[in-house]
């Protein structure tokens, strides 16, 4: 077991470069046919008593990260340090002690209780697992913990089906807290509950963590939940953290287009407040075949255009979306578009001219005819011609070669937006737009220095 700092001043939880890849196998010999990169290099720090949110759409790897951190599933790479100790090196007894100190609260309280056991028995169970032999003592602790979460000690004799959803989640919280952990990993703790009780359970979680100096890693797709409870937040997309920092800073001044889009999709209380249209379109790509460069570029509302074309921002984004769709195997059914045009005109599909199919395709993908830049228009026209002629691959190749965004060229690096001094409260984000902004700043500094030199 190794400790990089003394356990007293090390963060409670320090996750570095965490990976969880699932092998995709095929054939009799289980040959590896690929990998699902569910978690792909995640850094995360949780200090004692602190609440940190992990947010992102469904499928971005939040639950997998939680399970790998707690070693419920073995990570395939990276380190997880708990109070300075490397959890990935723990032997069985050390892992058992860790499981007491770090508890997991599941989303669905119904399936996490054995219907044949009383609530008291279930809540006391972790104490028995940890070796507490005295049954009466276990019962007393279970009862007092039930009271702590706002239930009655007599609820210990009730059965799961007798409790409401909110009561069951309180009981699940009691079961996690009965062993007095330092860290609670709460995976979508309120999303299975009625809206009316969600706020109660969140309020309880917030109160308990302050009373018990409990650290909480709160996993949620719901930004409002994280805003309510957390001090800091990490935003995950397709296995990676794309932005992190204090909640007020990340939500108040989001630096990553994905965070901006997630925030824009939050319901807002005042419909008169105008917000830019940065809705998330399309599905999260497969973690088995993530996009090159910035993984968000295929859906990014702010994807950077290639140099050399004078395209209106919205035209460029539509062109990019069209190209990405075309790049996916058999994703544009030209035959169906041709048949649609034929039906519209009451003619045979074979009698529909190629130009008419191209126009229908442009309509389908909101691509203006012509594009504002004549050179770009010539390329699009050529690609559409190939597509309609049945050569999808050539069409995709033409567009990919000419309209490649700088966002696809490399993975953006994580930038510290407050400078090095901010430490653990730093607001960080990984986006090529920030690289461009920083390069422009550097140019300004050079120009200023040049102007000063020539003045001297």
Ligand X SMILES: Nc1ncnc2c1ncn2[C@@H]1O[C@H](COP(=O)(O)OP(=O)(O)OP(=O)(O)O)[C@@H](O)[C@H]1O
Instruction: Identify which of residues 178 and 184 has a Cβ nearer to ligand X in the complex.
Output: 184
Instruction: Identify which of residues 191 and 359 has a Cβ nearer to ligand X in the complex.
Output: 191
Instruction: Identify which of residues 59 and 368 has a Cβ nearer to ligand X in the complex.
Output: 59
3-state secondary structure the chain: CCECCCCCCCCCEEEEEEEEEEEEEECCCCEEEEEEEEEEEEEEEECCCCEEEEECCCCCCHHHHHHHHCCCCCCCEEEEEECCEEHHHCCHHHHHHHHHHEEEECCCCCCCCCCCCCHHHHHHHHHHHCCCCCHHHHHHHHHHHHHHCCCCHHHHHCCHHHCCHHHHHHHHHHHHHCCCCCEEEEECCCCCCCHHHHHHHHHHHHHHHHHHCCEEEEEECCHHHHHHHCCEEEEEECCEEEEEEEHHHHHHCCCCHHHHHHHHCCCCCCCCCCCCCCCCCCCCCCCCCCCCCCCCCCCCCCCCCCCCCCCCHHHHHHHHHHHHHHHCCCCCCHHHHHHHHHHHHCCCHHHCCHHHHHHHHHHHCCCCCCCCCHHHHHHHHHHHHHHHCCCHHHHHHHHHHHCCCHHHCCCCCCEECCCHHHHHHCCEECCHHHHHHHHHHHHHHHHHHHHHHHHC
Instruction: Identify which of residues 123 and 186 has a Cβ nearer to ligand X in the complex.
Output: 186
Q: How far is the CB of 233 from ligand X (least distance, A)?
A: 15
Q: How far is the CB of 137 from ligand X (least distance, A)?
A: 37
Q: How far is the CB of 142 from ligand X (least distance, A)?
A: 30
Instruction: Identify which of residues 235 and 434 has a Cβ nearer to ligand X in the complex.
Output: 235
Instruction: Identify which of residues 167 and 188 has a Cβ nearer to ligand X in the complex.
Output: 188
Q: How far is the CB of 246 from ligand X (least distance, A)?
A: 22
Residues that bind ligand X (CB under 6 A): 22, 36, 38, 56, 58-64, 221, 287
Q: How far is the CB of 178 from ligand X (least distance, A)?
A: 26
Instruction: Identify which of residues 38 and 124 has a Cβ nearer to ligand X in the complex.
Output: 38
């Amino acid at each position: 077991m190794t400790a990089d700092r003394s356990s007293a001043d090390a963060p409670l939880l320090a996750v570095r470069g965490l990976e969880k890849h699932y092998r995709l196998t095929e054939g009799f010999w289980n040959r590896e046919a690929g990998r699902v990169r569910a978690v792909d290099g995640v850094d995360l720090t949780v200090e004692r008593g602190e609440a940190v949110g992990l947010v992102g759409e469904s499928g971005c790897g939040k639950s997998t990260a939680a399970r790998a951190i707690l070693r419920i599933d073995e990570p395939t790479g990276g380190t997880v340090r708990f109070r300075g100790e490397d959890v990935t090196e723990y032997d069985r007894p050390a892992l058992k002690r860790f499981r007491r100190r770090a508890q997991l609260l599941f989303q669905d309280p119904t399936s996490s209780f054995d219907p044949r056991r009383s609530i008291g028995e279930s809540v006391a169970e972790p104490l028995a697992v940890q070796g507490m032999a005295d049954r009466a003592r276990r019962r007393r602790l279970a009862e007092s913990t039930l009271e702590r979460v706002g239930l009655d000690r007599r609820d210990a004799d009730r059965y799961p089906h007798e409790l409401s959803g909110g009561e069951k989640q309180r009981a699940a919280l009691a079961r996690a807290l009965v062993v007095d952990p330092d860290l609670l990993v709460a995976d979508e703790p309120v999303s299975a509950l009625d809206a009316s009780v969600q706020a109660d359970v969140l309020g309880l979680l917030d109160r308990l963590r302050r009373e018990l100096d409990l650290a909480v890693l709160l996993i949620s797709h719901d930004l409002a939940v994280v805003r309510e409870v957390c001090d800091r937040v990490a935003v995950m997309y397709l296995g990676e953290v794309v932005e992190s920092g204090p909640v007020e800073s990340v939500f108040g001044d989001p630096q990553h287009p994905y965070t901006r889009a997630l925030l824009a999709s939050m319901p807002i209380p005042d419909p008169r407040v105008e917000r830019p249209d940065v809705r998330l379109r399309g599905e999260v790509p497969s973690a088995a075949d993530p996009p090159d460069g910035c993984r968000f570029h295929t859906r990014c509302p702010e994807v950077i255009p290639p140099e050399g074309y004078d395209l209106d921002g919205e035209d460029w984004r539509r062109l990019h979306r069209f190209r990405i769709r075309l790049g996916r195997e058999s994703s544009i059914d030209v035959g169906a578009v041709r048949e649609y045009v034929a039906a519209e005109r009451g003619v045979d599909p074979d009698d529909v001219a190629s130009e008419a199919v191209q126009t229908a395709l442009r309509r389908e993908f909101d691509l203006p005819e012509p594009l504002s830049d004549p050179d770009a228009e010539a390329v699009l026209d050529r690609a559409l011609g190939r597509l309609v002629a049945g050569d999808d691959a050539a069409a995709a190749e033409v567009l990919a070669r000419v309209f490649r965004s700088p966002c696809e060229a490399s993975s953006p690096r994580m930038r510290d937006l407050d400078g090095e001094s901010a430490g653990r409260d730093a607001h960080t984000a990984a986006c090529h737009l920030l690289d461009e902004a920083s390069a422009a700043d550097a140019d300004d500094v050079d120009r200023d220095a040049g102007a000063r030199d020539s003045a001297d």
